[in-house]
Structure 1
Amino acid sequence: MKDIFWLVKNILRVTFKSKKGILLYICTPLIGIFISFLSYGGSGGTILQVGIVDHDHQAVTTDTIKFIKGLENVKVKNIKESDVSDQITEGKLDCVITLDKGFAKSVLAGNPNHISISSIKGATVTSYIKSYLYNYIDNISAISKASNGDQNKFDKMYADYHQPQVKMSASVLKDTSKYKDMTNQTIGYLLMIMLISASTLAEIILKEKGNRTYYRLLSTPINAKKYISANIIVNLFVMVIQIIITLLCLKWIFHININMPVWQLGLILLIFGLVAIGFAQITVAFTNSTGASGAMQNLFIVPTCLLSGCFFPAEIMPKALQKISDFLPQHWVLETITKLQQGAHLGHVTLNFMILLAFAVAFFLIAIYKISRNNNVRNFV
C-alpha cells in the first residue's frame, strides 16, 4: 500500500506540475456551463411592442384596444398614422394595428373588416396578435348575430361577455424547462471531458513505457498491478474533483436549478467516472503508443457522445440512431438524470444504475483480460 501511495503522489506531481495540467483537468469542466449559458441564457420571454392607430373611435373599438393592452407580453402605444412607417422601420415597434373608420360597424354587422396589421418581421410577430385579436372580434360578431338586431339584447350579452359569471383563479408556474436543458447540456459536455481526462491520464502509462521509466519502476519492488492501481486511483481522484467543481458551479455560483438533489447527480456522475476509467484502461491495454491510443479515443468518445445526446437532444435524431444510443453509457446517464428531474424516485432508476455499473465492470474485465494475455513485457505485463 505504501508503494501505491508513493506512485499516486508521483503521478499527481507529474500531472499537475504545469498550468496546462491544471487547465486540462480542473478548468475544462466549466466549458459545458459556459456553452449552456450561451445557448439558453437569453431564451427568456420578450415583450412585443405594438402600435395602435384608431380612426374609428367607437365603443367596440375602444374595448378592442383595451383587450389588446390586456394581453401578456404585449406593450401597446397609441400612435398617429404618419408615424407608422418610421416606428416600424426604426425597430421601435414590432407591428402596428390600424382600426379604420367603420371597424365597429362591420363587427356588429357580423362581417369584421377595416382592420390591418403592419409589420416587417412577418408571421413570427403577427401570428401571436392575430390568434387572440381575431378570436375576440369573432366573438363580438357572434354576439351581434345572436341578438338579431335587438340593441338591448346585444348590450346585455355584450356586458355579460366582458363580465363573465364564471370566476377563475390563476397561478403562475415557473418554467423550469430551460434549466433542465442547461443541466443536461452541461452534463453532456462533462461526460465527454471525463472520458478525455481519464484517457489522457491513462496515457501516462504509455508515455512512461516509451521513456523506459515504466520498466525501471518494475525492476523495484513495485509491480505492474500496483502501478496500474495507482493510475486508477489518480484517475478517480481527478474525476471526483471535476464532478465537485461542476456541481458547485451549477448550484451555487451560476444558480442553475438542476431539479434534483445534488448528491443524486453526483452519484450518477461518479458511476460514470468508473466507466470512463475502465474505457481509458482499455485504450492503454489495446495500444502500444499514445498516437494509437489517441486514435482509439477519437473513434469512440466524440461519436458516442454525439449519438447519446450529449450535445443536443437525442429525440431529434432518426429512430435507428436512437436505438444505437441504447448501447452507450452516456445515454443511460442522461436518461437517468431526465427521469430524476421529472420526479422519479431513486429506486425507480435502479436498472439504469445497474446498466452503468455493468458497463464499468465490462470495461475493466476486458482491460484485465487483455493485460493478462499480453505476453510481450515491452508492451504490458
Structure 2
Amino acid sequence: MRNSFLIAKNNFNIIFKKKSSIVTYILLPIISILFLLFIQFLSKAEVYNIGIVNKDIGTLSKDMMSYLESTKKFTLLSIEEDEIKDKVTKSETSYVIIIPEDFEGSILKNHPKDIEILTIKDQDTTIWIKNYINMYIENLRIISSVSKDSKDFYEIYEGYKINGKMSLEGKSMEDLTGKKAFTTSAMGIFIIFLMYTSINISKLIIKEKREKTYYRICVSPISSKQYILGNVITNLLIIGFQLLVVILILMKIIKLNTNYLNFFILMIVFGIVVVCLGVLIISFANSSMSVSGITNFIVVPSSMLGGCFWSISRRGELLRKISLLMPQSYVMDGIEKIQGNLHFKDLIPNLAILMLFALAFLSIAAYKMKVNKSIGEFL
C-alpha cells in the first residue's frame, strides 16, 4: 500500500509541475457547471400557450385556470372541443387541457376526475403541467377530506385562497422543478468532463511506458497491481476535490434540498468506474494518439446512450435496453433518485452495478499490463 501512495505522490508532482494543469485537471469540470449556471440565469423562461376546454361550470375549475396563469409560465386561451385539432396542429396552442364535466362535484365527493392534457410536443413539459395541476387538486382533495359538507368546504376553501397559499405553492413548485432540471443537465456535462479528465491523468502510464519507467517499475518490488492502484489513488483524490466543489455549488448557489452524502457516494463510486476505464484504455493503447482516439470513440457515444445529454425515458425500447450497458445510465438514474428524496437503500442496486463495471475494467487492465512484455513505439 505504501508503494501505491508513493506512486500517487510522484504522479501529483508530474501533473502539477505545470500551472496550466490545475485548470485542465481540476477547474475545467467545475467551470463547465458554473458556465451552465450562468447561461440559466441569462435565459428567459419560455411561456407556453395552453388551450382550455372547460366542461365544468363551477368556480374551482376557473380558479385553477387563474392559478396556472399566476405562475407566469402559461398563457391560457379558452377554446371549444372541436377546435382542439386545428389549434394544436397550427401551433396556436402548445398544449390543451380538458376539464371534465362535474369536476367540482367530484372534488366535493373527494373523488377528483382526471384532467386530460393533449399535445404533439415532447412529454417533459406535459409532466410539468400535470405536476402543477395535481398539486392544486391534491390541496382541494385535502380540504374536501376535512370538510363536513359542501358549505364547510367552501368556507375552508375561501380561507385557503385569502391566505395566498396557492401562489406560494406554485412558486415553490416552479423553483424546485427548475433546480432539479438544472442539476440533472449539469451533472450530465460534469460526468463527460470527469471522464476526459480521468483518462488524461491515466495517460501518465503512456508517458512512463515511452520513457521505459513503467517497465523498470514492473521489474522492481512494485507489482503491476500496486502501480495501477497508485494511479487510481491519484485520480480519486482529484475527483474527490472536484466533487466537493460541485457539492458546494449545489448547496450555496443552487440551494438544492437533497441528501448530499448520498450524492457524494454515488459520484465517487462512478469516479472509481471512470478511473478503471481509463486504466483499461491505457492498457490496450499502442500510442498517445490511439488513447485520444479510443477515448473519443467511447466517452461521447456512451454518454449519449447513458442519458447525459437527454433523458433515457424519452427513447424507444431498444435504446433503453442498450443504455443499460452504459455505467452513465446508472449514475443519472441515481441522481434522479436522490433528487426524489429516496433513501440510500434505493441507491444500492445502482452502486452495486457500478462496482461491477469497475471490477471488470480493473481486472482486465491489470491482467493486460501483467502479461504485456513489449515496449512498442509511441507517437
* Structure-2-length-normalised TM-score: 0.65
Task: After TM superposition, give the deviation of residue 19 of structure 1 in Å.
Answer: 2.8
Cα deviations by residue, 1:275-311 (Å, 9 ceiling, x for unpaired): 0011011101111211111111111101111111112
Secondary structure, aligned partner of 1:34:
helix
Structure 2 residue corresponding to 1:338, chosen from 336, 346, 357: 336
The residue type equivalent to 1:11 in the other structure is: N
Task: Indicate which of 104, 117, 123 corresponds to 2:92.
Answer: 123
Q: Which amino acid aligns with 2:341?
A: G
Structure 1 residues 224 and 364, CA, compared in 2 at 3 Å: closer, same or farther?
closer
Which structure shows the higher helix fraction?
Answer: 2
Evaluate the alpha carbon distance shift between residue 187 and residue 71 of structure 1 in structure 2; reply closer, same or farther with a 3 A threshold.
closer
Q: Deviations over 1:37-63 (max 9, x none)?
A: 525764558699xxxxxxxxxxxxxxx
1:2 and 1:377 mapped to 2: Cα distance? 27
Which of the numbers 294, 297, 319 marks the counterpart of 2:295? 297
For structure 2, the 5+ residue unaligned runs are 50-62, 77-90, 100-150
Q: CA deviation at 1:186?
A: 1.4
What per-residue deviation string (whole Å, max 9, x for no partner) do you get for residues 19-44 of structure 1? 32111121112203422552576455
Identify the residue that residue 269 of structure 1 maps to in structure 2.
Answer: 267
Give unmatched runs, 5+ long, in structure 1. 49-66, 75-93, 96-121, 133-162
Task: Specify whether residues 363 and 287 from structure 1 end up closer, same or farther in structure 2 by C-alpha distance, changes over 3 A only.
Answer: same
Shift of 1:373: 3.0
Kept in 2: contact 1:26–1:242 (CA 8 A): yes
Partner residue, 2:258? 260
Instruction: Name the structure 2 match of 1:56.
Output: none
How far apart are the structure 2 equivalents of 1:189 and 1:310? 7
Aligned to 2:277: 279
* Equivalent in the alignment of 2:29: 29
Q: 1:312 to 1:38 in 2, by over 3 A?
A: farther
Q: 2 CA distance for matches of 1:197 and 1:344? A: 30
For 1:311 and 1:337, locate their aligned partners in 2 and report how far apart those are by CA, in whole Å. 14
- The answer as to whether partners of 1:5 and 1:230 remain within 8 angstroms in 2 is yes
Question: Could you tell me whether the CA contact under 8 Å between 1:195 and 1:301 is conserved in 2?
Answer: yes
Asked if the contact 1:36–1:185 (Cα under 8 Å) also holds between the matched residues in 2, the reply is: no
Contact persistence 2:208–2:214 (CA under 8 A): yes
Separation in structure 1 between the aligned mates of residue 35 and residue 208 of structure 2, nearest angstrom: 35
Equivalent in 309, 312, 315 of residue 314 of structure 1: 312
Aligned-CA RMSD value:
3.7
Q: CA offset at residue 377 of structure 1?
A: 5.5
Residue 229 and residue 196 in structure 1: after superposition, are their counterparts in 2 closer, same or farther (change >3 A)?
A: same
Q: In structure 1, what residue type is equivalent to 2:286? A: N
Q: Is the 8 A contact 2:224 2:370 kept in 1?
A: no
Q: How is 1:15-26 mapped onto 2 (pairs within 5 angstroms)?
A: 15-26=15-26
- How many matched pairs? 286
**Structure 1 position 318, deviation (Å):** 2.9
Instruction: State which drifts further: 230-239 or 265-274.
Output: 230-239
Alignment partner, residue 120 of structure 2: none
Is structure 2 residue 234 aligned with structure 1 residue 234? yes
Give the aligned partner of residue 211 of structure 1: 211
Q: From the superposition, tell whether residues 219 and 45 of structure 1 become closer, same or farther in structure 2 (CA, over 3 Å).
A: closer
Identity %: 26
Give the 3 Å change call, closer, same or farther, for CA 358–40 of structure 1 in structure 2. Answer: farther
Deviation at 1:227, TM superposition (A): 3.0
Shift of 1:230: 1.8
1:182 corresponding residue in structure 2 = 182
Relative to 1, partners in 2 of residues 1:40 and 1:314: Cα closer, same or farther, differing over 3 Å?
farther
Alpha-carbon distance in structure 1 between the residues aligned to 2:371 and 2:216? 22
Shift of 1:188: 1.0
Distance (whole Å) between structure 2 residues aligned to residue 198 and residue 255 of structure 1: 26
Asked which structure has the greater CA Rg, the reply is 1
| TM-score, normalised via structure 1 length | 0.65
In structure 2, relative to structure 1, the CA distance for the partners of 1:288 and 1:181 (3 Å cut) is same
Q: Distance in 1 between matches of 2:270 and 2:370?
A: 25
| Match among 363, 367, 372 for residue 374 of structure 1 | 372
What SS class does the counterpart of residue 28 from structure 1 fall into? helix
- C-alpha deviation, 1:314, in angstroms: 2.4
